[in-house]
Amino acid sequence: MNGQRIPPRIAPSLLSADPLRIWEGLQSLAGEYDWIHLDIMDGHFVPNLSYGPALLKALRSALPEAVLDVHLMVEPPENFIDSFLRWKPDYLVVHQEATPHLHRVLQAIREGGSRPGVALNPGTCVEALDPILPFVDLVLVMSVNPGFGGQAFIPEVLSKTRTLCQRRAARGLGFLVEMDGGIGLSNVEEVVRSGCDVIVAGNAIFGEADPALTARLLRKKAREAGSGE
């Protein structure tokens, strides 16, 4: 990253959109987003189910230029990555806790043409990622326990972001840091100030009467906090 920060990206999580109106939900944002975050849950790694590769296929076909950020909460991820890589997600993110073969999975994602990312549960130490940091383009720090939208933010995870940013600089690496869970207008600035480059928000955007307005405000606050204003 050469010490230069990118302007923070806002990634709405479709998990909080009306499942009967996902497309209308995206349109209701009026372009006030940077990435689209897709949560894939298997009812095994996390105690909930969501959707599968068919939604990624549909989004990729409808929005060929969109940055699609796929968060796999499945175990083991190696059984599922091919069915997602086929539809060319920009980022394909697997959990550190979900496989003993993390390096192999990350390598397979890169070879499959997507950018590999690794996610970390709130209860996992950031040091667990040290060996694989050179192999990822994204580290997703979970700020709630994965499985559900609309949960309360766990502020203690912010220290993980600071540590990751220090290690990124010390080792000359270029991965982005993303945070996911419980982020909204009241805490987005704090999250960006801790060093996050990509902010996921579900309930804070789709739970509002005017999602485009909230997404615009989140972006504005994130950018101001990112530029030190």
Catalytic residues: 39, 180
Specify the residue for token string 């939208």. 149
Footprint (CB under 6 A) of ligand DX5, residues 71-100: 71
Q: Which of 182, 195, 211, 226 binds ligand DX5 (CB under 6 A)?
A: 182
In the chain, beta strands by DSSP E: 9-12, 35-41, 67-73, 91-95, 115-120, 138-142, 176-180, 198-201
99/143 with CB nearer ligand DX5? 143
- Longest CA–CA span in the chain (Å) reads 46
Residue with smaller CB distance to ligand DX5, 105 or 205: 205
DSSP of 26-93:
HHTTTT--SEEEEEEEBSSSSS-B---HHHHHHHHHH-TTSEEEEEEE-SSGGGTHHHHHTT--SEEE
Report if residue 71 touches Zn ion, rule: CB under 5 A: yes
Task: List the one residue from 39, 42, 69, 90 that touches Zn ion (CB under 5 A).
Answer: 39
Restricting to residues 159-198, name those near Zn ion by CB under 5 A: 180
The site partner of 42 among ligand DX5, Zn ion, none (C-beta below 5 to 8 Å per kind) is none
Q: Which does 144 bind (CB under 5 to 8 A by kind): Zn ion, ligand DX5, none?
A: ligand DX5
Q: Which of residues 128-147 bind ligand DX5 (CB under 6 A)?
A: 144, 146-147
Give 71 or 160: the residue with its C-beta nearer to Zn ion: 71
Cis peptide before 76 (omega within 30 of 0): yes
If binding means CB under 6 A, how many residues of this protein chain bind ligand DX5?
21
For the range 120-124, what are the long-range contacts, defined as Cβ-Cβ under 8 Å and sequence gap of 24 or more? 120/95, 120/96, 120/160, 121/95, 121/96, 121/97, 121/145, 121/146, 122/154, 122/156, 122/157, 124/96, 124/97
List the single partner that 203 binds among ligand DX5, Zn ion, none, CB under 5 to 8 Å by kind: ligand DX5
The verdict on 25 binding ligand DX5 (CB under 6 A) reads no
Among Zn ion, ligand DX5, none, residue 201 binds (CB under 5-8 Å by kind) = ligand DX5
**Phi/psi at 65 (5° precision):** -95, -10
Which of 201, 215, 222, 225: binder of ligand DX5 (CB under 6 A)?
A: 201
Total residues contacting Zn ion (rule CB under 5 A)? Answer: 3
Tokens 């969501």, located at residue: 50
Q: Please give the residue ranges that form the binding site for Zn ion (CB under 5 A).
A: 39, 71, 180
